[in-house]
């Protein structure tokens, strides 16, 4: 569950750093749930009214607005249809110049093997101008404190049937969005090497865990995570989304503060993690992400992008252009 407390977030206010710097936010969600709403109005409140120069965004699947009727295998097409409508609203220009949901990542069960092609083609038909690929999360860990979005099987990335479906992404010119936990990074290395023609995007720097059985083992976690990131960087078809710190997964407890942390403190804490990704992959294979509204439980949109700008303050203008926009535009063909 994602609990956003606007009154709490408002306790930490900051001036926007480098307000002219163009940003493509390559990872956000849209949903309406019994306990949470994040639709066009809420997205605009952050991207348009938060003070940063957001020029484009990319939507990533979150099991929203699935079709109620028809074949179950096609239910996820409803999400792409829904976001295509939001994107069309944004493209009208009524809500500002930013192109919201200019890229769309949907869901399809790759474990279906070659038959998943029918679902992928339905996604393409639903949003031919914006649909770019799918995310089939593989987040799995034995720790009972960890949740498994989409309930994947252990070792799913190496499963023969999954890989059969994965090959269809390459056949259709689509990308794969990887959401996993840090102990699984080497599984992704193996997958990336097996399919060098499929672009792979690693979400949230590979999900380093700091809760459950991993609590209090920060040095051990970081060492294993670093080794995985370094190995993955040798795969030229992989790029990394730098962000996701606002989730409870990392064990930082930002959401438990009496007053939200400011961008300077966040940059100091998260800098070693994020800079390692940038050092290994380079600016042309890294992109800062918001992961909103999930990360909004810990930080406001204004403070979050200020944090990224503080982390990148030592980079050149060209390097910043890649990290904040260029890599995302190229990756999602915007």
- 244 burial level (CB within 10 Å; 0-12, 13-18, 19+): buried
Angle (nearest 5°) at CA 261 between 259 and 265:
150
Give the model confidence (pLDDT) of 250-296 as tens digits: 999 999 999 999 999 999 999 999 999 999 999 999 999 999 999 99
Between helix 185-194 and helix 160-172 the angle, nearest 10°, is 50
pLDDT exceeds 90 at position 132: yes
Structural domains of the chain, with CATH:
20-331 (3.20.20.140)
The whole-number average pLDDT for the span 49-55 is 97
The pTM for the full model equals 0.97
Which three-class secondary structure state does DSSP give residue 329? helix
| CA-based nearest residue to 83, from 109, 108, 103 | 103
pLDDT exceeds 60 at position 187: yes
> Going along 34-148, which residue ranges are E strands?
36-38, 53-60, 99-106, 131-135
Q: Which band of pLDDT confidence, cut at 50, 70 and 90, is reported for residue 148?
A: confident
- 205 phi-psi bin (left φ>0, alpha ψ -120 to 50, beta other): left
Give the model confidence (pLDDT) of 195-241 as tens digits: 999 999 999 999 999 999 999 999 999 999 999 999 999 999 999 99
pLDDT exceeds 70 at position 1: no
């Amino acid at each position: 569950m994602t609990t956003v407390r606007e009154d709490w977030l408002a306790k930490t206010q900051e001036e926007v750093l480098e307000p002219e710097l163009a940003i493509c936010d390559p990872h956000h969600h849209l949903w309406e749930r019994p306990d949470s709403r994040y639709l066009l109005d809420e997205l605009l409140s952050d991207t348009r009214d938060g003070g940063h120069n957001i020029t484009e965004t990319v939507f990533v699947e979150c099991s929203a607005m699935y079709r109620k009727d028809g074949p179950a295998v096609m239910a996820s097409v409803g999400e792409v249809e829904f976001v295509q409508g939001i994107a069309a609203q944004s493209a009208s220009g009524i809500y500002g110049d930013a192109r919201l949901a200019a890229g769309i990542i949907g869901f399809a069960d790759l474990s279906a093997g070659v038959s998943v092609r029918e679902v992928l083609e339905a996604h393409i038909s639903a949003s031919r101008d914006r649909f770019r690929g799918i995310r089939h999360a593989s987040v799995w860990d034995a720790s009972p404190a960890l949740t498994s979005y989409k309930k994947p099987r252990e070792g799913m990335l190496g499963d023969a049937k999954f890989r059969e479906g994965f090959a269809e992404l390459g056949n259709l010119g689509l990308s794969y969005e990887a959401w996993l936990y840090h102990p699984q990074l080497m599984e992704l290395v193996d997958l990336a090497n097996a399919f060098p023609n499929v672009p792979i995007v690693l979400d949230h720097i590979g999900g380093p865990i700091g809760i459950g059985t991993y609590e209090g083992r920060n040095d051990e976690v970081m060492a294993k995570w670093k080794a995985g990131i370094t190995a993955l960087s040798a795969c030229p078809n992989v790029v990394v989304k730098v962000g996701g710190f606002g989730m409870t997964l990392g064990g930082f407890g930002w959401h438990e503060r009496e007053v939200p942390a400011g961008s300077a403190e966040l940059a100091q804490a998260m800098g070693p993690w994020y800079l390692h990704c940038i050092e290994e992959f380079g600016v042309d294979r890294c992109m800062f992400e918001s992961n909103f509204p999930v990360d909004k439980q810990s930080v406001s949109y204004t403070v979050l992008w200020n944090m990224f700008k503080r982390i990148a303050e030592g980079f050149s203008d060209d390097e910043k252009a890649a990290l904040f926009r260029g890599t995302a535009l190229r990756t999602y063909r915007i």
